[in-house]
Amino acid sequence: MSRFCGEINTAPILEAARRWRDVAFLADGSVFSDKNLWTIEGLEALVKYFVQNPDAGTGNYIEKLREQLAPTPRQSNSWQLMNWFMLLCPSTPLPRRSARS
């Protein structure tokens, strides 16, 4: 995995990812609470209602995500899982463009 991101300090992001790996992924816990988020039911709901149900319509990210995950049971924790994935690396993956004359 590349760790070079130009002038961006990636150390905090990589530390967050390491903590997530250890606490959530390996120990089935939660980084932000004492809940067990990483359940089969939660992940299956995320796949069914988000991954297999893309929303190319109008609205911002939160509005569309709320609509997509509306059918999920509250105990599925799909909302928290999705936000963790999306907020881990919030910057754009595209390279910076140089200014043209």
Q: Where are the domains of the chain?
A: 11-88
Nearest of 41, 40, 30, 34 to residue 83 by alpha carbon: 30
Angle at 82 between CA 78 and CA 88, to 5 degrees: 145
pLDDT band at 74 (very low <50, low <70, confident <90, very high): low
Q: Is the pLDDT of residue 52 over 90?
A: yes
pLDDT digits (tens, 9 = 90+) for 11-46: 888 898 898 889 877 887 877 778 777 778 878 888
Residue range 69-90: mean pLDDT, rounded:
70
- Residue 28: in which H helix or E strand, if any? none
Q: Is the pLDDT of residue 79 over 80?
A: no
